[in-house]
Amino acid sequence: MLELKKISFSYSEVPFIKNLSLRIGKGECISLIGASGCGKSTLLQLIYGLHHVDGEILWNGQQLLGPNFNLVPGEEFIKYLTQDFDLMPSISVSENIGKHLSNVYPRKKQRRIKELLELVEMKELAGTKAKYLSGGQQQRVALARALAREPEILLLDEPFSHIDHFRKNKLRRNLFAYLKKKQITCLVATHDSTDALSFADRTLVMKAGRIISKGTPQELYEHPRNIYVASLFGEVNELQAEIFGEEWKEESGKEKKLILYPHEFKVVRNSPLKVLVRKSYFKGSIFLIQAELKGRDLFFEHSQALDPGMEVSLQVPEDLVRSRIKG
């Protein structure tokens, strides 16, 4: 188990990571999401041991010590994939992957390199020098190198940010299946909602150096704590509850709000919720419609484009309205 006990860290006099505690089980995959500057990358660096931290970080009950105690920062059983890759440009893809593997058993080393080349789909470029690779290719090589001496904990900072979309999906499936099979504990700092929703066992939402929400991806998506959490998964709407009827108004007279995603609206012939269409965006299987409601933008999905200026009636299932308002 990886355990963080009331850790704090600051780059200056002002705390950046603030009194953060967390437990992560062996083989668990955790996604860290949040706006830029929220502390995701810094948290990975603290776990790896690049900065001295107030509080305790433990792996299987043993405290991990930072640069104040280690001559060379970092832990042998933890691998940290940064956003700059740090490959050696003048040696080949295979040599970069096998750089830290023992030469005592050369056949075993070559089998391991071949296995990882196949995992990241770089077999055809095994002999190519790193300096001739694209950014996405370098990122795949860096990922394979991080796995070469199989870690117990893998820390990934935006691991697919430079990789082409058509290749990213298969690589993601292969990588996270491999990590789960090998029971490698993984933390992924990401802006990509697919990383957070599809592959994580749990997702942690960070803001201003704190974890403000956590749960399974499905729990966070279906019951977002606030507009900040919901917006990390894509386009989102925040509406006054009175739009759906006076019965949703609190006894105090204050308006309650609810959060709805574009796909949760349905176009109907007539309803009290009417909007004016402003623009349609083709998204492949559907169109994202930008509309106006009482001077504010509202986004919903529809099977076809709608003409600008068109008035449209929308409906949201009553049970969904009830659960979002009360939840």
Under the banding of pLDDT at 50, 70 and 90, the label for residue 268 is very high
C-alpha torsion 228→231→237→242, nearest 10: -30
Dump pLDDT digits (tens) for 224-234: 989 999 999 99
Distance CA 289, CA 299 (A): 6
C-alpha torsion 162→168→173→176, nearest 10: 0
Distance CA 28, CA 33 (A): 16
Dump pLDDT digits (tens) for 39-88: 999 999 999 999 999 999 999 999 998 888 877 778 889 999 988 888 99
Dump pLDDT digits (tens) for 99-130: 989 889 899 999 999 999 999 999 999 999 99
Q: Are 160 and 168 in contact (CB under 8 A)?
A: yes
Element (H, E) at 29: strand 29-33
Distance CA 304, CA 35 (A): 32
What separation in angstroms does the CA of 50 have from each of 66, 70, 74, 257? 6, 10, 6, 42
Distance CA 95, CA 290 (A): 51
pTM: 0.90
How many CB atoms are closer than 10 A to CB 252? 7
Whose structure tokens read 């299932």?
Answer: 317
Give the closest residue to 288 by CA, choosing from 316, 314, 262: 262
What's the DSSP call for residue 129? B
Distance CA 168, CA 157 (A): 15
What's the DSSP call for residue 64? P
Distance CA 87, CA 151 (A): 18
Equal CATH topology for 2-226 and 237-326: no
- SS3 (DSSP) at 50: coil
What pLDDT score does 225 carry?
87
What pLDDT score does 66 carry?
83
- SS3 (DSSP) at 267: strand
Distance CA 312, CA 264 (A): 15
Distance CA 279, CA 270 (A): 21
pLDDT at residue 256 greater than cutoff 90 = no
What pLDDT score does 301 carry?
97
What pLDDT score does 247 carry?
65
Give the residue extent of every domain in the chain. 2-226, 237-326
Q: What is the CATH number of domain 2-226?
A: 3.40.50.300
What separation in angstroms does the CA of 303 have from each of 236, 263, 293, 300? 18, 11, 20, 10
Which distant-in-sequence residues (6+ apart) come within 8 Å of 34 by Cβ?
Answer: 40, 205, 206, 207, 232
Dump pLDDT digits (tens) for 283-325: 999 999 999 999 999 999 999 999 999 999 999 998 888 887 7
Strands 210-215 and 237-240: unpaired
CA 211 to chain centre: 14
Under the banding of pLDDT at 50, 70 and 90, the label for residue 166 is confident
Note the CATH architecture for domain 237-326.
Beta Barrel (2.40)
**How many Cα atoms occupy the beta-carbon half-sphere of 17 within 13 Å?**
23
Distance CA 267, CA 261 (A): 14
Distance CA 320, CA 237 (A): 14
Dump pLDDT digits (tens) for 191-239: 888 888 889 999 999 999 999 999 999 999 998 989 999 999 999 999 9
**Over the chain, what is the mean pLDDT?**
91
Distance CA 182, CA 170 (A): 18
What pLDDT score does 164 carry?
87
